[in-house]
Amino acid sequence: MRHALAASAAVLAFAAATSARAEEGMWTFDNFPIARANQTLGVNIDQAFLDRVRLSSVKFGGCSAGLISAEGLVMTNNHCVATCVANLSTQETNYAETGFTPRTREEERKCPGGSAEILTGIEDVTERMHKAGEGPNGEELAGVAFTRARDAEASRIESEACGDATDKRCQVVSLYRGGQFKLYTYKKYSDVRLAWAPEDRAATFGGDLDNFSFPRFAIDAAFIRLYENGVPAVTPTHFTWKADKPVEGQPVFVSGSPGATQRLLTMDQLASVRDVVLPMDQLIASELRGRLIRYSEEGERQAFEAMDPIVSLENTYKRGLGRMRALTDPGFMQMKAGAEADFLQRYAAANASGATGPWGDLTTLQPTLRELYPAMALLEGGTSLGTTPVAGGSQLFSWARTLVRAAQERPKASADRLPEYADSRLAAVQTGLFAERPVYPQLEQVRVEWWLSKTREWLTVDDPRVRTLLGNESPEGLSARMIEGTRLADPAVRRALWEGGLAAIEASDDPLIQFVLKMQEPSRAVRTEWEEKVQAPTDRASEALAAARFAAYGDSVYPDATGTLRLTYGKVEGTDVPGQRWGAFTTFGGLWDRATGAQPFVVAPKLLAAKDRIPADTVLNMAVSSDTIGGSSGSPVITAQGEIVGANFDSTVLTQRNAYGYDRNVNRSVIVTTGAVTAALRDVYGMTGLLAELGVR
Amino acid sequence: MRHALAASAAVLAFAAATSARAEEGMWTFDNFPIARANQTLGVNIDQAFLDRVRLSSVKFGGCSAGLISAEGLVMTNNHCVATCVANLSTQETNYAETGFTPRTREEERKCPGGSAEILTGIEDVTERMHKAGEGPNGEELAGVAFTRARDAEASRIESEACGDATDKRCQVVSLYRGGQFKLYTYKKYSDVRLAWAPEDRAATFGGDLDNFSFPRFAIDAAFIRLYENGVPAVTPTHFTWKADKPVEGQPVFVSGSPGATQRLLTMDQLASVRDVVLPMDQLIASELRGRLIRYSEEGERQAFEAMDPIVSLENTYKRGLGRMRALTDPGFMQMKAGAEADFLQRYAAANASGATGPWGDLTTLQPTLRELYPAMALLEGGTSLGTTPVAGGSQLFSWARTLVRAAQERPKASADRLPEYADSRLAAVQTGLFAERPVYPQLEQVRVEWWLSKTREWLTVDDPRVRTLLGNESPEGLSARMIEGTRLADPAVRRALWEGGLAAIEASDDPLIQFVLKMQEPSRAVRTEWEEKVQAPTDRASEALAAARFAAYGDSVYPDATGTLRLTYGKVEGTDVPGQRWGAFTTFGGLWDRATGAQPFVVAPKLLAAKDRIPADTVLNMAVSSDTIGGSSGSPVITAQGEIVGANFDSTVLTQRNAYGYDRNVNRSVIVTTGAVTAALRDVYGMTGLLAELGVR
């Protein structure tokens, strides 16, 4: 089976989902269904359009963005620059509160650790990657050997293609869950500066309550600028700014990097997500949310520190809630089951009677996955399934882990390392580690205490790994001792430890470094067991499933989202289903009406002051039927003529089923319009320089 | 169908579950399987034994307890007196920390609002109750009319039997989900005093981590005393104290009032619990937990205030987690599905082919139940399904609601009122309302803020009911205004409002009273809709199901737990299944070994000081195979000779599936032994008077 798959890899670009229909699909740029999109939308795009869109599309952290001038100006969402804004702010000069409004380019400020990328090339490396999964005599590798051999080959390919270049990044991308591998090459910008951000409350009006919903009233847009050699990057290829009032039914394309979908999972895999992954992730996230909310109420400093973390956590949590609802929605699950039954029937017809092939293999794996998930998520993180942040997302812990692991891994040959420390990835590791970021120790302690406490609870107090972590200490005592004692907040200390290597790490008396050193044995063991018993066999079975899907359904399929550039399309329109009935647009007038005067429904002061200058019927947000998901945030929304008309910033809570399948009736992306952004720049924040750069008036 | 049911009501005592086996079953005292218990355990009990056990069994709040002397002395769990201890404590004199150790009876202190009951009589009222579900012409009532008619009849029966007696309580109990109704008559004690409580940490050693687990090392026992006319009650019938070392395999009986099981629910009903009820309850409880944990870290006062609420919340949460695991355990659910398939097959054989009868009715109801549950739980509470506390369990809110509702209901005829305000129940309402309890305003605000915030989140900000609750205020602002402004903490204010009736309520400018008045319309509407569309048709279908079950399986079945007295039996033994392998006993030696010195594994000071006085091999806790569930806490564990050998205080987390079905392999109750209690009384707390009363030495 696997060899047949390897042989047909070249055509697998068309082989991963049951046939996609209408607006469905997050398509790769080298397999975009031009004809179908033209027919569905009544437009006439071609390869030149695709190339221009690709080269105007920017990946910025976990977000998407689009070039809007020839001088490196980029529009994304305000929530995509929230960390940058927080890092540039102090409690006294809080740009989240005031907005960030540089009058000249000299006042634009570099986002600490920020970088941006543009996809410049796609190359097929499927054959090479599949071959790497074989042993020296052509036998199939298994378990960790398989995982590591594949990882090492990917890193080799990346190194060969990008070498030591600092303005490029190479990435081997697994598509169709291993059915296909592509080498993506990016032009990389390591100097990204904040060019404009509105008042945070103008962008987050309605807060968590309005998040993942429509009608919506949020100017969730911000500008960054790409710099090269200290000056704005030269970017002749970019979208054209178009701020006209949008019309219902207008065809649009959305170009961005959706994070992850799980549409190709079998029903048994989805059941594990529903029964084990989502409940644990959501339950413990909810407790962290409670701790952070109460923390934020303890004083102004705490409120300032916790704002960004709460927003981010609530976003993840609400998305998870939408997914729980999808996986427990009898109608939706029946649809998924129907699709699987059809696939299985075709498979059975083509294979030995009674064979369950890759489905059976995946079913067999689920009890092990269910058993191992909590430890993997809590101690190691980084599964493609869950969202639980190791150490509660503590920045100090993350640095400590990077330092300890890099010190342990760097002496090895690149191919023998944990893949995230392979040669081709070390530059990014260092960038993250050396970035100057503010650290809030009390908040860090809340995070670490929560994490230790939940790890002890879920793995149980008698688990030997928990005993290794805690010794005779309590989560409260240990987290306080580590966070009070660590000196890792100082970049010079981090740099010295990095440069000192393993000797410096082992000699360090930093309590956080010592802790992370101590937890390496249990943590690495959990990861090895996961890779051996869950990840590798899942990868194998998923590749077989990809081949079977191709055999059953032929072409016209798209791969699951993987955080890489995709193009999707749709129409500007509202919805008309129970629980979600509304038109396509909201206006500034609607915003004024919705303001109660109590948070989160207070209009930001500068925005409110401009009330009389903005026509009440100016469109603020709109809904489109395109197929997006987390990671699509900031995606440019463009016409068939390459004009940018908005930035995707959200979808509705019903749309969260999108992780598992596209539903034309309910799936809506939420867009902030260029018209609203223009009004904000002109009437609220006085950004005349930027308006001139965009060619407005 | 219903009439057939009414006709056969008398035999329905034997007709509610598929056949019970071995130790399975929480049996009523008027239908206990004497012969089978004798055979299973190799003992020889008779009706006289049952009568003595019943009259020695005490219900205390939500807990169980047992008489252990002729002078009203009762053993229960320490966690059952935690609220009493908290109410008697101040931050300065904190009995939870020091233990409560009165040297004389004069020092025993009354538990505010506490009362205890002993079941003295059981009478069948099925026919009368079933008849009340019919209209004047014998037609079947439906919806709220049905619910209210049944409630009114129950209240009438109770009033007729108990009148105005203050030392009796009458309660019509629905058994087999409406298959049978019994009038339970209790001897009631309204003066219950605390006679001994250990240090809280001796009772809760291991905290939430060891809760719902075994091996266990907790002296979770306490003594109360029943008083009549200011002197200890005369109680010639009681259990005999027996503190000998227990032996493995020993037959025991456990007598108590298990709260609620859902074993008779159909698979579709269970799916609603799994998909909607448990996820919402658990997710929002987890956030409250986080808020309370952080609150408790803000200072010593906050730690004192939040201790009891956190323990209680964590207990409910962990139990819910065990239930979530049961309902997502493929093996367990397959077992349940198999049992239902068998039942359905028998039903189909006996009825028109293709008929799904009550199952079909219940299936049809589920979408409505799923839709209405969040509003019902958040605004009204009190469904038999969930655990979400209205107003976050705020004491002030609870008083306000009682005052407002009582004022609105009391002018009506008893039969027309909300059933909890019927004549037969008003005395208990007043007792609760006028009890002197400490109130911690800051903690109250945390609770109410959380509740308002979760109500807004789950019902959505645009829900008209949410708009009524909040107006233009935020949960933070509104909760602060209400809790700071209310004067209901003063019992005299509550009494004046009670006595002033509706006029006083409507004239009151107390912000909490005003708020509760304002929310009556939406809150009552939610309840009416729930009763009309969910509760009444569910009750109807469940009665039909009870009849069908009897037809299919004959006798030897027991009803779901309903918070009323039951007797269960089993053997002292450990378990030997994956994830739960251990012997039957733990010892004080094991306790000393488990103490790490960090919370929650710090041995309480007085207990630790007695270390050398207690032989290390003294048995502390033990496991038994009896069928218990929440509410069984404090249940006396007795031999076939009526000797008390321990008090049930917990079960394991795997045992939580017990809500839906008994599993002999994993089901274990956790018991604190009389031997451990004797050691504590003698060697730790010097309670020589109590020891003499128990006849020790």
pLDDT of residue A16: 32
pLDDT of residue A13: 27
Distance CA A241, CA A693 (A): 10
Residues of chain A found within 8 Å of residue B289, distances taken between Cβ atoms: 287, 290
Phi, psi dihedrals of residue A138, rounded to the nearest 5°: 80, 5
Distance CA A257, CA A666 (A): 21
B413 contacts chain A (CB < 8 A): no
Alpha helices in B508-564 (DSSP H): 511-530, 536-553
pLDDT of residue A353: 62
The burial of B324, by beta-carbon neighbours within 10 Å (0-12 exposed, 13-18 middle, 19 or more buried), is given as: buried
Distance CA B610, CA B77 (A): 21
Among the partner residues A290, A457, A460, nearest to B288 by beta-carbon distance: A290
Distance CA A81, CA B567 (A): 63
A459 contacts chain B (CB < 8 A): no
Residues of chain A found within 8 Å of residue B282, distances taken between Cβ atoms: 279, 283
pLDDT of residue A20: 52
3-class DSSP assignment, residue A469:
helix
* Residue A494: both structure tokens together: 């981090």
Instruction: Give the gap in angstroms from C-alpha B321 to the nearest C-alpha of chain A.
Output: 9
Find how far residue B127's CA is from the centre of its chain.
28
Q: How confident is the model at residue A354 (pLDDT cuts 50, 70, 90)?
A: low
Q: For the residues A592-613, what does the mean pLDDT come to?
A: 95
Comparing CA positions, the residue from A459, A683, A670, A678 lying closest to residue A575 is: A670
3-class DSSP assignment, residue A227:
strand
Residues of chain A found within 8 Å of residue B364, distances taken between Cβ atoms: none
pLDDT of residue B155: 92
Distance CA A74, CA A108 (A): 13
Mean pLDDT of chain A: 92
> Cβ separation of B596 and A275 shorter than 8 Å?
no
Which residues of chain B are under the pLDDT cut of 50?
Answer: 1-19
pLDDT of residue B2: 28
Distance CA A450, CA A456 (A): 10
> Cβ separation of A460 and B209 shorter than 8 Å?
yes
pLDDT at A6 over 60: no
Distance CA B360, CA B362 (A): 5
Instruction: Give the gap in angstroms from C-alpha A634 to the nearest C-alpha of chain B.
Output: 26
Distance CA A371, CA B213 (A): 18
- In sequence order, the 6+-apart residues with CB closer than 8 A to the CB of A497 are A403, A407, A488, A504, A505, A508, A510, A513
Distance CA A208, CA B456 (A): 11
> Cβ separation of A287 and B292 shorter than 8 Å?
no
Name the amino acid, one letter, at B27: W
pLDDT of residue B99: 98
Name the amino acid, one letter, at A24: E
Distance CA A221, CA B45 (A): 77
B286 contacts chain A (CB < 8 A): yes
Instruction: Give the gap in angstroms from C-alpha A422 to the nearest C-alpha of chain B.
Output: 38
CA geometry: angle B266, B270, B276, nearest 5 deg:
145
**Complex-level ipTM:** 0.89
Instruction: Give the gap in angstroms from C-alpha B50 to the nearest C-alpha of chain A.
Output: 40
Name the amino acid, one letter, at A401: R
Choice between B315 and A6, residue whose per-residue pLDDT is larger? B315
CA geometry: angle A19, A24, A30, nearest 5 deg:
80
pTM of the shown model: 0.90
Q: HSE on the CB side for A682, CA within 13 Å?
A: 18
> Cβ separation of B206 and A275 shorter than 8 Å?
no
DSSP category for residue B561? P
Q: HSE on the CB side for B118, CA within 13 Å?
A: 21
B283 contacts chain A (CB < 8 A): yes
Comparing CA positions, the residue from B79, B142, B223 lying closest to residue B536 is: B142
Distance CA B37, CA B626 (A): 11
Distance CA A511, CA A439 (A): 17
* Residue A191: both structure tokens together: 């100097």
CA geometry: angle B565, B568, B569, nearest 5 deg:
155
Instruction: Please write the tens of the pLDDT for every residue from A361-404.
Output: 999 999 999 999 999 999 999 888 899 999 999 999 999 999 99
Distance CA A395, CA A381 (A): 15
Closest residue of chain B to A286, computed from CA coordinates: B287
CA geometry: angle B312, A471, B610, nearest 5 deg:
65
pLDDT of residue B551: 85
Residues of chain A found within 8 Å of residue B287, distances taken between Cβ atoms: 286-287, 289-290, 293
Among the partner residues B290, B293, B598, nearest to A474 by beta-carbon distance: B598
Closest residue of chain B to A470, computed from CA coordinates: B598
Interchain CB contacts (distance < 8 Å): A and B? 97
- In sequence order, the 6+-apart residues with CB closer than 8 A to the CB of A263 are A17, A560, A659, A660, A661, A662
Among the partner residues A274, A287, A597, nearest to B287 by beta-carbon distance: A287
Comparing CA positions, the residue from A216, A224, A245, A202 lying closest to residue A685 is: A202
* Residue A59: both structure tokens together: 């990946």
Residues of chain B found within 8 Å of residue A286, distances taken between Cβ atoms: 283-284, 286-287, 290
Q: Which of B461, B466, B472 to mutate to test the interface with A (most CBs of A within 10 A)?
A: B461
Q: HSE on the CB side for B71, CA within 13 Å?
A: 13
> Is the preceding omega at residue A600 within 30 degrees of 0, hence cis?
yes
pLDDT of residue B34: 95
pLDDT at A556 over 80: no
Comparing CA positions, the residue from A1, A39, A103, A60 lying closest to residue A565 is: A60
Q: For the residues A509-532, what does the mean pLDDT come to?
A: 97
pLDDT of residue A1: 27
3-class DSSP assignment, residue A168:
strand
